[in-house]
Amino acid sequence: MTVARDIMTPDPTCVKEDQTLAEAARMMRELDVGALPICGNDDRLQGMVTDRDIVVKCIAEGGDPQTALAGSLADGKPYTIGADDDVRDALVVMQQHQVRRLPVIDGHDLVGIISQADIARSLSSVETGETVAEISED
Give the least confident one: 7-11, 45-49, 125-129: 125-129
Supply the CATH number for residue 122's domain. 3.10.580.10
Q: Are 17 and 39 in contact (CB under 8 A)?
A: yes
- For residue 40, pLDDT over 80 is answered with yes
Residue 26's domain comprises 4-135
Domain count, the chain: 1
Q: pLDDT digits over 5-21, tens only?
A: 999 999 999 999 999 99
Report residue 47's pLDDT band, with 50, 70 and 90 as the boundaries: very high
pLDDT tens-place string over residues 67-109? 999 999 987 788 999 999 999 899 889 989 989 999 999 998 9
- In this prediction the pTM is 0.85
